[in-house]
Amino acid sequence: MDKPPAPSRRITIVDVAQHARVSTTAVSKVLRNAYGVSPTMQAKVRQAIAELGYRPSAAARGMRGQTYTIGVMLPDIRNPFFAEILDGLNDHLADTDYQVLLGPGCNGEEAEAKVTHAMIDRSMDGMILIAPVSSRAHLEHVARTVPTVVVGRHGRSATYDTVADDDFAGAGLVVDHLADLGHRRIAHIEHHETDPDRLAEMPNAIRADGYQHAMRARGLAGEIDIASTSYTQEGGYLGAQQLLARPVRPTAIFAGADIVAMGALDAIAEAGLRVPEDISVAAYDNTTFAAFRPISLTSVDQAGHQIGRNAARLLLDRIADRQRPATQIKLSPTLVTRRTTAPPPA
């Protein structure tokens, strides 16, 4: 029952095999829950593993089989929304032999390429790419090399599965909510996009589409007003400044992301206006801070947890069968109304 005497050399499968008086194959099979081991052997091997405190080397396993490691790439570790997705992932993966490792936050195609390559070099068994901005070609390349699930990006592919939130519908929720309150001049701050792939696939572009579609559906086509900046605090600040300078000022602003709303609130306060009395603000993501009392931001909640769970499930399915046809899952967002939205000034 005492610990093995300070083993400077790591315990290997050979040690376990000798200790259990069986072959290394037997140990390997037990490790992988593979077919063809008697209960007796199972027991012997498991006991030897426990007694010696053996842990398989992922590097060695990776040379021949799997590494039991799943790589997750996410663009911005600061966005708490991604943490929700990770929780969902881990929920599903906790009971499996797989271990999740995250790439450090990426911004831009170059950084994404570096991380995806690094993960491929490290023989990840599967990869989950969250809201990647890389070209489709790169995504397909990655997915051809290793089982891949792309999260938070629309557009179907034959080589990878996708899980995304219905951003089009989410934008509609915001417009409907504001229009129901009586707003007509509802403006939008979007993340500027020119790349055709991304215009068709990135959530920011879909949200802008959804905004316009919903405005038209409410008979507000003439009121459509978009400030095109970026999904950053500064983007929100500049975007709101632009909108407030219009001849006829909007009575409500739909910011494409919560962080954008933070910048917009700055600009609105500087302009001497009150929220929501003078102007309403709604956003997207329902990040943790949206719920903080001083902020109390009306925001679209993406089912982050569910997104993560589904991504994990799809990935394990694909690892099991790489030929399986690609699946697209689209989840429905909900609107959380708080204190930044109210009827327009009389």
The residue range among 17-25, 101-109, 168-176, 221-229 that interacts with a copy of itself, by the rule CB under 8 A, is 101-109
Q: What, of DNA, a copy of itself, none, does residue 289 touch, CB below 5 to 8 Å by kind?
A: a copy of itself
Other CB atoms within 10 Å distance of the CB of residue 221: 10
Q: What is the DSSP string of 163-217?
A: EEE-HHHHHHHHHHHHHHHT---EEEEEE----HHHHHH-HHHHHHHHHHHHHHH
Under rule CB under 7 A, residue 291 binds DNA: no
Please tell me the distance from the alpha carbon of residue 307 to that of residue 303, in angstroms, as a whole number: 6
Under rule CB under 7 A, residue 33 binds DNA: no
Closest approach of Cβ 25 to DNA, in Å? Answer: 4
Where in 51-80 is the site for DNA (CB under 7 A)? 54, 56-57, 60-61, 63-65
Under rule CB under 8 A, residue 333 binds a copy of itself: no
Nearest CB to a copy of itself, comparing residues 200 and 271: 271
Closest approach of Cβ 141 to a copy of itself, in Å? Answer: 11
Under rule CB under 7 A, residue 28 binds DNA: yes
Please tell me the distance from the alpha carbon of residue 16 to that of residue 24, in angstroms, as a whole number: 8
Under rule CB under 7 A, residue 29 binds DNA: yes
254: DSSP letter? E
The residue range among 29-37, 110-118, 159-167, 325-333 that interacts with DNA, by the rule CB under 7 A, is 29-37
Please tell me the distance from the alpha carbon of residue 107 to that of residue 115, in angstroms, as a whole number: 11
Number of residues engaging a copy of itself in binding (CB under 8 A): 43
CA angle 275, 258, 230 (to 5 degrees): 105
The torsion angles phi and psi of 24, rounded to 5 degrees, stand at -65, -30
Under rule CB under 7 A, residue 26 binds DNA: yes
Where in 278-307 is the site for a copy of itself (CB under 8 A)? 288-289, 292-295
